[in-house]
A and B are shown apart, each in its own frame.
Chain A
């Protein structure tokens, strides 16, 4: 079981390859692992579909007629808002030079054909796990009297900076990313500590208590028997 499993039911993977048989094989194995897939049969179509569907991950062949994989990878990296899309290159080129070239073009991983289905899924899972948290949304949450800045790992309460330890910061950031949404303790444990860590759910309570001491009692509300939610601060 992966350490912090990506929610495969929500992940869409765009497969770009000019060989239909390869596409079918990839599609079959990834669908079987619970991922949704979209197909593109050349580089230009792949780039267009990346813009259109904004996949959670792209698996990209290098050697294709027209726009090759390296070009497509660089084009994706140069274009907001798709620049952060995780990319795995999958190619028949089994030399180091090609791998380094692919990675330096912006790929997150590089696999050679033929790839074992098990390894394919494990690599996909690893890349999604590693990249998911960083591409999800804004890094600065701005409310009327509080700013939660993940770039600087600092909270500013009415302009005054407050430093929180990493776990407390991540917990606050997650709650504040979804104002009004209730998170169960288990959800918070999973998101902040990961399913690989052996901590009890009451750890969440301790961290929430510490956060409240620093930013005020009213911003994180306890939903009895369920969990916690962030209350959007108001002025006046």
Chain B
């Protein structure tokens, strides 16, 4: 259980083209995460990806409604239908918290799996990445492998 809860894994980092202050992936690499990087519009899964657990870390300068609406197409372009996507979005200057809530809900409803706003601490980001990674089914991640379940309910 401990291994699964504290696991690291492969991250596909996708920074937006207009990103001014990208996260320092070196710090995350020091935690054991392995980074592959592509840019928006260059969707191609790196060949090194295999059955190891992975998460897509999508970093945006600000909430981008057009991109969010096109998350399904982004997934399709990558062939990443079930890979969890964590969206990291620049600090909001929205006058109303309701607007920030609406944006997050919109992102989640479009197929983003976790939505975080910067500034975010390193510790919190690591914890959030691990949460997504530990649901990835692999032989080395036994926590959620349910071989004892009798049938798949329809």
Give me the interface of A with B, judged by CB distance under 8 Å: 1-4, 10, 77-78, 80-81, 83-84, 96, 99-100, 103-109, 116, 118-119, 121-123, 125-126, 129-131, 133-140, 150-153, 166, 177-178, 181, 193-194, 196-198
Beyond A138-B147, A198-B76, whether A118 also contacts B105 by CB under 8 A is yes
CB of B3, distance to nearest CB on chain A (Å) = 13
Q: Which of B101-144 contact A (CB under 8 A)?
A: 101-102, 104-105, 108-114, 121, 123-124, 127-128, 130-132, 135, 137-139, 143-144
Beyond A100-B124, A104-B5, whether A196 also contacts B149 by CB under 8 A is no
CB of A2, distance to nearest CB on chain B (Å) = 5
- Could you say which residues of chain A place their CB within 8 Å of the CB of B105? 116, 118-119, 121-122
Closest to B72 in A: A196
- Could you say which residues of chain A place their CB within 8 Å of the CB of B146? 81, 84, 135-139
- Could you say which residues of chain A place their CB within 8 Å of the CB of B150? 137-138
Q: Is B40 in the interface zone, CB < 8 Å from A?
A: no
Instruction: Specify which of B73, B104, B123 is in contact with A96 (CB 8 Å cutoff).
Output: B123
Closest to A108 in B: B131
Instruction: Specify which of A129, A133, A181, A196 is in contact with B75 (CB 8 Å cutoff).
Output: A196
The CB with the most chain A CB atoms within 10 A, among B84, B114, B154, is that of B154
* Cα–Cα distance between A84 and B143 once the two chains are bound (Å): 7
Give me the interface of B with A, judged by CB distance under 8 Å: 1, 5-6, 51, 71-73, 75-76, 79, 81-82, 84, 98, 101-102, 104-105, 108-114, 121, 123-124, 127-128, 130-132, 135, 137-139, 143-154
- Could you say which residues of chain B place their CB within 8 Å of the CB of A129? 111, 113
Is the pair B131, A125 in contact by a Cβ cutoff of 8 Å? no
CB of A11, distance to nearest CB on chain B (Å) = 11
Is the pair B81, A194 in contact by a Cβ cutoff of 8 Å? yes
CB of A179, distance to nearest CB on chain B (Å) = 11
Is the pair B149, A3 in contact by a Cβ cutoff of 8 Å? no
Is the pair A2, B111 in contact by a Cβ cutoff of 8 Å? yes
Q: Top 8 nearest A-B pairs by Cβ distance? A: A3-B111, A196-B72, A137-B152, A122-B108, A122-B105, A103-B127, A177-B152, A100-B127
- Could you say which residues of chain A place their CB within 8 Å of the CB of B139? 151-152
Closest to A81 in B: B148
Closest to A137 in B: B152
- Could you say which residues of chain B place their CB within 8 Å of the CB of A134? 135, 137, 144
Beyond A96-B124, A116-B98, A126-B112, whether A139 also contacts B75 by CB under 8 A is no
- Could you say which residues of chain B place their CB within 8 Å of the CB of A81? 146, 148-149
| 11 cross-chain CB contacts under 8 A | A80-B148, A81-B146, A84-B146, A103-B130, A108-B135, A116-B98, A135-B144, A138-B150, A139-B146, A196-B81, A197-B75
- Could you say which residues of chain B place their CB within 8 Å of the CB of A104? 5-6, 127, 130
Is the pair A131, B72 in contact by a Cβ cutoff of 8 Å? no
Is the pair B82, A126 in contact by a Cβ cutoff of 8 Å? no
CB of B5, distance to nearest CB on chain A (Å) = 6
Closest to A83 in B: B143
Instruction: Specify which of B5, B81, B108, B127 is in contact with A99 (CB 8 Å cutoff).
Output: B127
CB of A174, distance to nearest CB on chain B (Å) = 8
* Cα–Cα distance between A125 and B146 once the two chains are bound (Å): 22
Closest to A97 in B: B123
- Could you say which residues of chain A place their CB within 8 Å of the CB of B147? 138-140
Instruction: Specify which of B104, B128, B143 is in contact with A122 (CB 8 Å cutoff).
Output: B104
* Cα–Cα distance between A198 and B127 once the two chains are bound (Å): 34
* Cα–Cα distance between A1 and B72 once the two chains are bound (Å): 11
